[in-house]
Copies of this chain bind each other. A is one copy, B any other.
Amino acid sequence: MSAMAAQEPVRRPGGRNARVRTAVCEAVLDLLHEADWDDLSIAQVAERSGVHQATIYRRWGTLGALVDDVVTEQLTRSSPVPDTGTLRGDLEAYAVQVAEDVAGPLGPVFLRAALVGTRPEGEPSKQVYLLERGTQLQKMLDRARDRGENPPTLLELLEVILAPLYFHAMFFERPTNAHHARTLVDRLLALSEKK
């Protein structure tokens, strides 16, 4: 269980507070599995979670902010970056993992959440998640370098592997599969060799 994402409460971190949060998050995920984001409403979440509507409005304000919060938590808690001993192994494991996530029922929700500007002020929006993940991936690349391999930059990794996977999820219904993920890894490694 991680710390609050929406807003750091000055006190009362655990207990009922957390129970409500958990119930709401679960309800949102449940409902998103059953129907599209567009069909989701705060009233529904309230009913499903047993938490009163007013509470949800008070804590999250809008549906967009709520979904964004839930998605962020999901992504943050998601599996660690792999460490298989070889760059290729790491990349393949990672790519396959992302391909699965993005092809899953929540794939479109994740992507759409990135596009919904919910953070009111400052808040670097998505960067929160991306930076954390970016750091982990950078470590993966560093490990490869330490082994004497010739890894790509983080940006190259994002552009050559992540971007196409997301792109497919956005525009083609067909799920991106493991084979495709491996093709992308080949492409990235080919680029690195070349340099």
Give chain A's interface residues, CB within 8 Å of chain B.
36, 38, 62, 64, 108, 111-112, 114-117, 125-127, 130, 158-160, 162-164, 166-167, 170-171, 173, 184, 187, 190-191, 194
A187 CA to B191 CA, complexed, in Å: 8
- Nearest-neighbour CB distance to chain B for A121, whole angstroms, equals 14
- Which partner residue on chain B sits nearest A184 by CB separation? B159
Provide the main secondary structure of the chain A interface: helix
What chain B residues lie within 8 Å of A171 (beta carbons)?
Answer: 114, 126-127, 130
A59 CA to B107 CA, complexed, in Å: 30
Contact A38–B111 (Cβ < 8 Å): no
- Nearest-neighbour CB distance to chain B for A101, whole angstroms, equals 15
Task: Pick from B64, B116, B163, B173: contact of A167, CB below 8 A.
Answer: B163
